[in-house]
A and B are shown apart, each in its own frame.
Chain A
Amino acid sequence: MKIEVLGPGCAKCKLLAERTEEAAKGLGADFTLVKVTEYPDIVARGVMTTPGLVVDGVVKSQGHVPTVAAIRELLR
């Protein structure tokens, strides 16, 4: 599973990355987590409001930080 956290590096982006890592580890899944911080890369993924969560190329959430439980559902 390829997980991307999109955002220029603001507090919420960091929080999303932490929660996503926790959720993914909780699932015991095999995953790589990449932070996408450059604007052209963020825009190219079709995300307009950061932070964004992209799993295997699919935008799962944007504009807010879901709870760990909600992220776990998004990763399934």
Chain B
Amino acid sequence: MESGTKSCACEGPVTRPAPSSGPGFWASGGWLLAALPAWFAIYLSLKPAADWLAFSVFALRPGSRLGEAVAFFAYDGPKVLLLLGLVVLGVSFVQTFISPERTRDLLAKRTGAWGNLLASLLGIATPFCSCSAVPLFIGFVRVGVPLGATFSFLVSAPMVNEVALFLLLSLFGWRIALLYTVTGVMVAFLSGWILSKLRMERHLEPWVMEIPFEASVGASAPMGFARRIEMALQATRDIVAKVWLYVLAGIAVGAFLHGYVPAELLARFMGRSAWWSVPLAVLIGVPLYANAAGIIPIVQVLLAKGAALGTALAFMMAVTGLSLPETVILRKVLKPRLLAVFLGIVAVGIVLVGYLFNLLM
């Protein structure tokens, strides 16, 4: 978990297209295609390799606490890192086609619910860093992106991103990853849409609309396939280098707590029967500031120890989607009333998602 208002929870550098012809297809990108079968071969042999390591090399007894913990870690650690590499590479490649400037131009002047939906969806794939929230907000609003759509983007971008997706996918399976994505987009869409109906444009700080402003143009020189692959690889290296330790630490904690903390401990506080647990999880989660890599392993432990799915998802959304530092940053452009309404709507949306899952699952 990170702390302090000056640090940044963004998962990696925002890579940006730059004009370059680059080397040939095979030299820079083609070998990746050849590497894919090798990736699958390694992935499929992880389980036997982990068992062999734990039960033959370390000679631990299958079924024993320590033996199972070591086997779990030796399997889950490399598995998650392999998945991280593949997913982040794929997303980084897609992101070479999307810049904040392009997203902004796509959203400009697009009023109504479609604008909000599009903003929520673009928020998933657009590279975004909370340090940039203020200049980005002004950039959006000043070129005519409706306030509601801007908020939809601001909610969706940090909450649903590639690292969150990959971790959910590898730790909880595709159903939960999909549920989280769909409901995250829903919360972003509805929050922005409701805000647009409230017509709160006059609650912006005056300087937002008054300062001299010049719309920036994202570097848009045409880029070859090889160059995009090269940039995606660079981004993947940076992101993996930044989060692998958090991920392994989370899995290690998960592996060991599993045996030593009574499974029913959290059920009383975060189980389905405790109706107040969802709002409480959101209240605790909002001031916390962490990126998806830091929070998801914790969510894994919560779930394993008896927390209800809806409560755990609501907690994660509250931590990633809203945060105290971001609130302080946004106060520079929003008057208190608009800021409060924004926080309130998003928090209520997250609570509703929590209840929904606790009812359905």
- Residues of A whose CB lies within 8 Å of any CB of B are 7-13, 39-40, 42-50, 59, 61-65, 70
Q: Is the CB of B16 within 8 A of A61?
A: yes
Interface residues of B in 1-51 (CB under 8 A from A): 6-8, 13-16, 18
Q: Which residues of A contact B214 (CB under 8 A)?
A: 44-46
A8 touches B6 (CB 8 A): yes
Is the CB–CB distance between B207 and A10 below 8 Å?
no
Known: A10-B129, A43-B139. 11 other contacts (CB 8 A): A9-B6, A11-B8, A43-B134, A44-B214, A46-B216, A48-B136, A48-B138, A49-B14, A49-B135, A63-B16, A63-B99
Shortest beta-carbon contacts, A-B, top 3 = A48-B139, A63-B14, A46-B214
The answer to the question of B131 belonging to the interface, with a C-beta cut-off of 8 Å to chain A, is yes
Interchain CA distance A60-B16 in the complex, whole Å: 12
- Chain A hits for B13, CB < 8 A: 12, 64-65
A9 to B325, CA, bound (A): 13
Q: Given A39-B332, A43-B213, answer yes or no on A11-B14 (Cβ-Cβ < 8 Å).
A: no
Complex contact A49–B136 (CB within 8 A):
yes
Contacts of A40 in B (CB 8 A): 207, 211
Given the contacts A43-B138, A63-B100, A49 and B6 also touching, CB distance less than 8 Å: no
Closest to B235 in A: A64
B residues engaging A (CB < 8 A)? 6-8, 13-16, 18, 99-101, 104, 127, 129, 131-132, 134-136, 138-139, 207, 211-216, 329, 332
Q: Closest CB of chain A to B271's CB: distance in Å?
A: 39
Complex Cα gap A46–B143 (Å): 12
**A10 B7 Cβ-Cβ under 8 A:** yes
Specify the chain B residue showing the minimal Cβ separation from A39: B134
B139 / chain A contacts, CB cutoff of 8 Å = 43, 48
Are A7 and B131 closer than 8 Å at their CB atoms? yes
Decide if B135 touches A63 in the complex (CB within 8 Å). no
Q: A10-B8, A12-B8, A12-B131 are in contact. Are A48 and B216 (CB under 8 A)?
A: yes
Q: How far is the CB of B78 from chain A (nearest CB, A)?
A: 29
Q: Are A64 and B14 in contact (CB under 8 A)?
A: yes
For B104, list chain A residues within 8 Å (CB): 48
Cα of A73 to Cα of B212 in the assembled complex, Å: 30
CA distance A13 to B6 in the complex (A): 10
| Residue of B101, B127, B134, B135 with most partner-chain A CB within 10 A | B135
Q: Are B7 and A11 in contact (CB under 8 A)?
A: yes
Name the contact of A62 in the complex, choosing from B6, B215, B216, B329 (C-beta under 8 A): B216
Decide: B132 and A50 in contact? CB cutoff 8 A. yes
* Residues of chain A contacted by B8 (CB below 8 angstroms): 10-12
**Inter-chain contacts of B16 with A (CB < 8 A):** 61-64
Min distance, Cβ A76 to any Cβ of chain B, angstroms? 14
Nearest to A6 among chain B residues (CB) is B135
Q: Closest Cβ of chain A: how far from B231's Cβ, in Å?
A: 10
Taking the closest CB of chain B, its distance from the CB of A9, in whole angstroms, is 5
